[in-house]
Amino acid sequence: MSEFLSNFDVDSVREDFPILEREVRGKSLIYLDNAATTLKPKMVAEAVYEHYLMGASNVHRGVHQLSEDATRLYEGSREKVRKFLNARRSEQVIFTSGTTASINLVAKSYGKSNLKEGDEIIISQVEHHSNIVPWQMLCQEVGCTLKVIPMNAAGELIIEEYEKLLSERTKIVSVVYISNALGTINPVKTITEMAHKHGAVVLLDAAQAVAHTPIDVQSLDCDFLAFSSHKLFGPTGVGVLYGRTELLAKMPPLMGGGDMIETVTFEKSTYAKLPNLHEAGTPNIAGVIGLGAAVDFVTGVGLKQIAAYEDRLLEYGTKKLIEVEGLKLIGTAENKASVLAFTLDGVHPHDIGSVLDMDGIAVRAGHHCAQPVMQFYGVPATARASLSLYNKKEEIDKLAESLTKLREMFI
């Protein structure tokens, strides 16, 4: 066990997550649905609780102590995210309601303002619906064309085919960093470099990547990057859009209202500078403060250490699951994160999820908001066990044991 864990103390980490002491159906909880949402450490819940209990004031608009405190914490979280992403300036961090909202903001603001009929947008075959539908809507609205990078049977993007799609008509390339359905880690730096040679801007969907690998937007050289707080052990309903200053500043605001204005008359309004330009109305203040605490938590543990531990856990989990008779792993990319998607002969994924729940094991069953991926593999759905820093190899042992018993029930 000590060799497996190396210098990563998973038992100490688990103490920060009281929910792991909970019983489900009379069994100890085994939480393997981290790709859907991660659990929350105590320090995140305490930060949100503290704001509502002792703060609960609006930001930016008050001169009293409570408003000043809330503003300091809110903007403090922005600076924490800036450092976390290695962005140059805090104004490049826009708070949204999540990855979906961030991608829609780029599509509906930057896209609508800069694309025209005949232009092209490139996405990939492994995308989540939130990185497909906004671009389809934009194409319908302005008359541009959506193109798709194909993948191979392992779930890896075929870069040679991507190169063929690029041209002077390519204006936006928007790809997922890590697939939520397969765990594939895409070569996003290479994808970005290739797009830039054709003058296209690049958006990276980092919803799954943000809790699994260090992200450096300057090194990646992406133009936009989106992620959600709840994938990073933070509150739901909060997200981030990172963007290049010159692009964000020229994007028309998607929403109008308080805090995004400079002056308002009945004849004309002028707009505030970044980041307020894209943050109309009262924001999710407590959620943003909680996100700041989540960044502190992850930074304290160390993302490199987390990634190394999860790689070992994935390797162990892969070996255990392929030993289960009738089980087929879906997504076997050479470079992948801690997602184990699978089917089991004779058992529908929804039945897998329901029966595992009786053993206290939480997995996801369905199309994972990635229906084109399911169509590629010719399956209606998969079961997905997604791992995080608080999972243990004993939990994987229990999963494999339960799957073996489950299959015997259905044959």
Amino acid at 40: K
Answer whether 180's CB lies under 8 Å from 35's CB.
Answer: yes
DSSP string, 256-268: -STTSEEEE-SS-
Give me the amino acid identity at 297.
F
**Which one from 139, 144, 222, 369 is the annotated catalytic residue?**
369
> Closest Cα partner for 239 from 57, 364, 41, 78?
78
Residues 308 and 390: beta-carbon distance below 8 Å:
no
Q: Collapse the DSSP code of 122 into the 3-class scheme (helix H, G, I; strand E, B; otherwise coil) and give the result.
A: strand
Q: Which residue blocks in 156-238 are alpha helix, DSSP H?
A: 159-165, 188-196, 217-220
* 369 a catalytic residue: yes
Residues 6+ apart with CB under 8 A from 83: none
Whether the Cβ atoms of residue 254 and residue 273 lie closer than 8 Å to each other: no
Residue with tokens 């204006």: 171
Do the Cβ atoms of 396 and 316 come closer than 8 Å?
A: yes
221/202 Cα distance (integer angstroms): 9
| C-alpha–C-alpha distance, residues 64 and 86, integer Å | 33
Please report the DSSP string for 143-161 in residue order.
--EEEEE-B-TTS-B-HHH
Question: What number of CA atoms fall less than 13 Å from residue 166's CA on the CB side?
Answer: 19
Q: DSSP label at 95?
A: E
- 238 vs 19: CA distance, rounded Å: 21
Q: Residue 346 burial by CB count (10 A; 0-12/13-18/19+): exposed, middle or buried?
A: exposed
Q: What are phi and psi of 74, to 5 degrees?
A: -65, -50
- Just list the catalytic residues: 369
